[in-house]
Amino acid sequence: MKRLLLFLLLAQSVLLVAAQQLRNPVIPGFHPDPSVCRVGDDFYLVNSSFHYFPGVPIFHSKDLVNWEQIGNVLDRESQLPLEGATSWLGIYAPTIRYHEGTYYMITTNVGKRGNFLVTAKNPAGPWSEPVWLEQGGIDPSLYFEDGKCYMVSNPDNTIVLCEIDPVTGKQLTQGRPLWQGTGGRWPEGPHIYKKDGYYYLLISEGGTELAHKLTIARSRNIYGPYESNPANPILTNCSRDGQSMQIQGTGHGDFVQAQDGSWWMVFLAYRNFGGSYHHIGRETCLVPVEWKAGEWPVVGGGRAVDTLMTVKTLPAVPVKKPASRTLFNKGIQLGPEWVYLQNPIMANYQLTEGKLRLVSHGTLAENRQPTFLGRRQESPNIQVETEVTLHHPIEDKYGLAVYQINDGYLMFYATSHDINVEYRLKSVNGILASEDWSLADVPERVRLRITSNGERYYFSYACNDETSYTPLADIECSLVSTEVVGGFTGVTIGMFTEYFFNNSSATAYGDFSYFEYIER
């Protein structure tokens, strides 16, 4: 009996410890600029999407740790015009808020008309057409109080507040400057909260790289003056405490209070791999907040945040993960994790005879609605695979792309006579490896496989019904990192087709049987 009791106590302690292990990121891969709101027992979170369509992925959670994507806020071209957008443009940091039965998402379409908001009764959609706003800057946010709707954004490197009509978008008051931060560059990402008689203004400073940080000020009046927290920054890994951690670039956060009264913050950060390089993007992380009545919030105990924290979390509620293999059967509904580059030409994506037919339209480098369908890389350790049937006799390209930006990506593709791994870095092209076939040996079908361990991508292939794969090449992941090729996004991996030298004299297409994404 004593042994049984001891065993039960030990088991209970193990479960307790396991329940207190918080692993970051909570939404891995290219999911930057998180904003969160709570409605009852449910949490909803949105992220930036830049030049990808559909835009602004939206997630649901019961525990702030386990998240399921339930849709994309901007799923129509009328909501999200992306003509000519690169990964430097498109949808910047969104904010989600809930007020009197309506969900609001406010954001910026950089390169188009600027700031706008959309609304919905159900966070899974549908969301309204855009309501365009007058005040400029980026990273707009909303705050509701006493029948009024306030908007903050950062025109001229200053956090500016105005009152708006959220139905028409009309600006009702002149913009009032609130704060310029503590002196860090690019004060942005403002959010306003009211607690214990104070209005708290949370912002990001330092740029979304190593110097990224979160700072906060408060005032008894929403229009100020705002007093800076003497303990600023309240979150940064650009410190002696955080300099050796894998997580870097911590910033751009949003507070939320859970149903048990505890406070939390979601924020963005990136993970380095193979040195000081990050390639899978800025990710959504979580940290507990201590916020005593009348005092300043203390984030993560005032310490740097790493990939593993021992904290008391909310009771875990697991969520369903997307299927690892997608078969392109007629009538299939693709999950919300799938994305295109810019607004897709849907006629170039056809379901036919149990396969996805991709019709070529220009090249990835040209960035004019290229034919590409993929998903975010959410783990450093992955295996991605597809099978393509070739149909055109000229050297058009059909295969997989490891895409960071339109002048920084890898291509693994088959043509009518060979298989290549090619890189494009700021207009410099190179063939890493090729396997030449004589025309008599051209296979009907080619399976292409990419694996990664976080530091290198490995490329292998198999022809027709071969069961073994032939290694072709491998390359450092840093080649498509933000530090090398730039951009604000992260790697997406997907199927693509390209014309040979943009040969548009004939219709070229490849038929893809399936797409498999496995985290290992």
Assign 3-state DSSP to the chain and report helix, strand, coil percentages, each to 5.
10, 45, 45
User: Which is catalytic among the residues 33, 306, 396, 407?
Assistant: 33
- Phi and psi at residue 37, in whole multiples of 5°? -140, 155
Q: Which residues contact 335 (CB under 8 A, 6 or more apart)?
A: 69, 322, 323, 326
Q: Which of 388, 423, 430, 386 is nearest to 404 (CA)?
A: 423
| DSSP state at residue 501 | G
Q: Which residues contact 295 (CB under 8 A, 6 or more apart)?
A: none
User: Which is catalytic among the residues 139, 188, 422, 498?
Assistant: 188
Q: Which residues contact 306 (CB under 8 A, 6 or more apart)?
A: 24, 242, 245, 246, 247
C-alpha gyration radius of the chain:
24
Is 407 catalytic? The answer is: no
* Side-chain-facing half-sphere of 211: CA atoms under 13 Å: 9
Is 436 catalytic? The answer is: no
* Side-chain-facing half-sphere of 219: CA atoms under 13 Å: 11
Residue 397's DSSP bridge partners are 498
Total residues belonging to the chain: 520
CA dist 165 and 290 (Å) reads 34
Would you please indicate which residues are annotated as catalytic (active-site) residues?
Answer: 33, 188
